[in-house]
Amino acid sequence: AKSLQEFATVLQNLEDERMRMIENASEVLITPLEKFRKEQIGAAKDAKKKYDKETEKYCGVLEKHLNLSSKKKESQLQE
């Protein structure tokens, strides 16, 4: 009976340490990864969206300019 009690105590201590390790893993690994994802990757995605939008706008202006004939008015070319 005493041996089983000691074994149960050892198992309980092992389980407690395992739970502390899991909690620590969340604090040490998961939280920094979430922070990195939100700050760094989110900022990169926003920059990419802005770049794509500006590129599309620039390409549209180029297409419009290339499609103008040489007989168009000077005011349209300045635009």
Give the DSSP per-residue string, 16-45. Answer: HHHHHHHHHHIIIIIHHHHHHIIIIIHHHH
Position 48 scores a pLDDT of: 93
CA gap 78, 65 in Å, rounded: 10
Exposed/middle/buried for residue 78 (C-beta within 10 Å: 0-12, 13-18, 19+): exposed
pLDDT for the residue numbered 63: 84
Mean pLDDT by 10 residues, the chain (79 residues): 94 94 85 89 91 94 76 60
Give the pLDDT confidence score for residue 29 in this predicted structure. 87
pTM for the full predicted model: 0.48
For the chain, counts of helices (H) and of strands (E): 4, 0
Position 70 scores a pLDDT of: 59
Given this model, what pLDDT does residue 56 score? 94
pLDDT confidence of residue 62: 85
